[in-house]
Amino acid sequence: MKFIYIKTWGCQMNEYDSSMIISLLQKKNEYSLTESVENADILILNTCSIREKAQEKLFHQLGRWKKIKNKNPEVIIAVGGCVATQEGKEIFKRANYVDIIFGTQTLHRLPKMITEVEKHRNLSIDISFPKLEKFKYFLQPKKTGYTASISIMEGCNKYCSFCVVPYTRGNEISRPCDDVLFEISMLAENGVREINLLGQNVNAYQGPTFDGKVCYFSELIRLVAEIDGIDRIRFTTSNPLEFTDDIIEVYKDTPKLVSFLHLPVQSGSNKILNLMKRSYTVEEYESIIKKLIIARPNIQISSDFIVGFPGESERDFQETILLIKKINFDMSFSFIYSARPGTPASEIEDNLNIEEKKKRLYILQNHINVQTMSWSRKMFGSIQSILVEGVSNKNIMELYGRTENNRIVTFKGSPNMIGQFANLKIKKIHTHSLKGELI
């Protein structure tokens, strides 16, 4: 028995990929997962290239692992994910103690690559893009909770000027509809009650069916809702460009789809959206939200914002703040712009200093935080349906779960409620959580 240690950075797609890696390596009972770096025979780093200085973060981590390898030369170090796909052999040139470099679409080849390294002790590298091949090797991860994520498509065709995803994940390709439904059915049989559909541009899903037709995203959601045991459906991340009316209609007739949507807008300025190559306008985004509210009046919206994009003026920033107030976003993921190597935006002259960017980010996040608290206050005294996920970390006498709008709620209940839905009356409001009472 050999031990594997895996460190994962980035989005839910990376978390999903890591779960596949673990399942593949545990298939023949040759490997076991460990939480101790020092005890591991194989160190795996699943990287993300979205955030600033992703490459430097990678090499800092590898530097720490080099000390382990110096003590035990038999340890195998493998680097995968988006940075591995982007940098390829350059990683080995800078860190020649790395044994394996694998891509986002070749993680299923990792067991074979490990065997090759054990035999020959040469660098094994594969960052190619075999379309959906990795899903043919899919093994259902061991059940770890009552919620689960499933990748329904890979890649993106949008080529936003700031984004590396099309270069690291490839173009959009959808998994066959029947494969997706089968995987979700397996999860449901193992006790999963809430499913999160994943994709870089999830609402662009067009999965082939067994009879040669195409299953669109709106239809897929309805089919998932028909699976016994699945009582709550989420999805992330979607693009306004393809948030079509048929998807909005699903909110009218599919109550299992949560009344919460993460729909990244990135900026409230049409000028900046054009520079970002987002291919929609602020007005078109607002129109989608209006239709959604008509379809599902109690829906809450979260979004992504990039602050300080090259060319962003004070007026552009104020237009973003105006949009935040107008839509009344519940929460957001907001970041200072940082150039990603090889993207078109990295060639645009950056007109803002870091102090101004930090100031704008602070102002934006403060507006969002005020609105988040306002939404939480509206929940006071309301009845919320939550999926009970386990025992609270802060109080073993309490349980916890999540509302449809992703609020964590703690309450007093019995352990046999874990994995079930419960109705709670919200009694207290905290900054990042709620307290409820079972009714």
Report the percentage of the chain scoring pLDDT > 70. Answer: 97
Q: Is 48 annotated as a binding residue?
A: yes
Report the percentage of the chain scoring pLDDT > 90. Answer: 78
Percentages helix, strand, coil for the chain (3-state, rounded to 5) are 40, 25, 35
Do residues 13 and 42 make contact, with C-beta atoms less than 8 angstroms apart? no
Mean pLDDT, to the nearest integer, of 387-405?
Answer: 94
Cis peptide before 237 (omega within 30 of 0): yes
Start-to-end CA span in the chain (Å): 49
- Residue 245, token pair as written in the block: 């009316």
Confidence of residue 56 (pLDDT cuts 50, 70, 90): confident
Confidence of residue 255 (pLDDT cuts 50, 70, 90): very high
What is the per-residue burial (b if ≥16 Cβ within 10 Å, else e) of 231-259? bbbbbbbbbbbbbeeebbebbeebebbbe
Mean pLDDT, to the nearest integer, of 360-367?
Answer: 98
Strands (E), 229-312: 232-236, 260-262, 300-307
Q: Is 11 annotated as a binding residue?
A: yes
What was the pLDDT predicted at 340? 84
Confidence of residue 143 (pLDDT cuts 50, 70, 90): low
Do residues 154 and 199 make contact, with C-beta atoms less than 8 angstroms apart? yes
Inform me whether the pLDDT recorded for 34 exceeds 60.
yes
Tell which residue, 410, 402, 397, 418, has the closest CA to residue 438. 410
**Of the given ranges (18-27, 83-92, 210-219, 316-325), which has the lowest mean pLDDT?**
18-27
What was the pLDDT predicted at 125? 95
Do residues 201 and 216 make contact, with C-beta atoms less than 8 angstroms apart? no
Query: What 3 state SS string does 143-166 have?
Result: CCCCEEEEECEECCCCCCCCCCHH
Tell which residue, 138, 128, 198, has the closest CA to residue 168. 128
Domains of the chain with CATH codes: 2-126 (3.40.50.12160), 133-364 (3.80.30.20), 380-438 (2.40.50.140)
pLDDT in tens, 204-219: 999 999 999 999 999 9
State the chain's mean pLDDT as an integer.
93
> Could you give the CA distance from residue 53 to residue 58 in angstroms, rounded to a whole number?
9
Inform me whether the pLDDT recorded for 50 exceeds 80.
no
415 CB contacts (<8 Å, ≥6 apart)? 391, 399
**Of the given ranges (97-101, 168-172, 231-235), which has the lowest mean pLDDT?**
168-172
What was the pLDDT predicted at 250? 98
Confidence of residue 19 (pLDDT cuts 50, 70, 90): confident
Instruction: Classify 107 as helix, strand or coil.
Output: helix
Decide which of 130 and 253 is more confident. Answer: 253
Q: Count CA atoms closer than 13 A to 203's CA, side-chain side.
A: 20
Mean pLDDT, to the nearest integer, of 222-239?
Answer: 96
Q: What is the DSSP letter of 139?
A: -
Inform me whether the pLDDT recorded for 140 exceeds 70.
no
- Residue 394, token pair as written in the block: 């802060």
Q: Is 177 annotated as a binding residue?
A: no
Mean pLDDT, to the nearest integer, of 49-61?
Answer: 82
Do residues 148 and 187 make contact, with C-beta atoms less than 8 angstroms apart? yes
Inform me whether the pLDDT recorded for 132 exceeds 90.
no
Name 384's bridge partners. 424
Mean pLDDT, to the nearest integer, of 175-187?
Answer: 94
What was the pLDDT predicted at 141? 52
53: number of Cβ within 10 Å: 10
Inform me whether the pLDDT recorded for 29 exceeds 90.
no
Confidence of residue 134 (pLDDT cuts 50, 70, 90): confident
> Could you give the CA distance from residue 292 to residue 410 in angstroms, rounded to a whole number?
30
Confidence of residue 357 (pLDDT cuts 50, 70, 90): very high
Mean pLDDT, to the nearest integer, of 169-197?
Answer: 93
Q: Is 82 annotated as a binding residue?
A: yes
Mean pLDDT, to the nearest integer, of 209-231?
Answer: 96
Task: For residue 387, give the amino acid letter.
Answer: L
Inform me whether the pLDDT recorded for 54 exceeds 80.
no
What was the pLDDT predicted at 144? 63
46 CB contacts (<8 Å, ≥6 apart)? 6, 7, 8, 9, 10, 14, 17, 18, 21, 80, 81
What was the pLDDT predicted at 287? 98
25 CB contacts (<8 Å, ≥6 apart)? 4, 31, 42, 110, 111, 114
> Could you give the CA distance from residue 21 to residue 82 in angstroms, rounded to a whole number?
15
Instruction: Classify 224 as helix, strand or coil.
Output: helix
Task: For residue 34, give the amino acid letter.
Answer: T
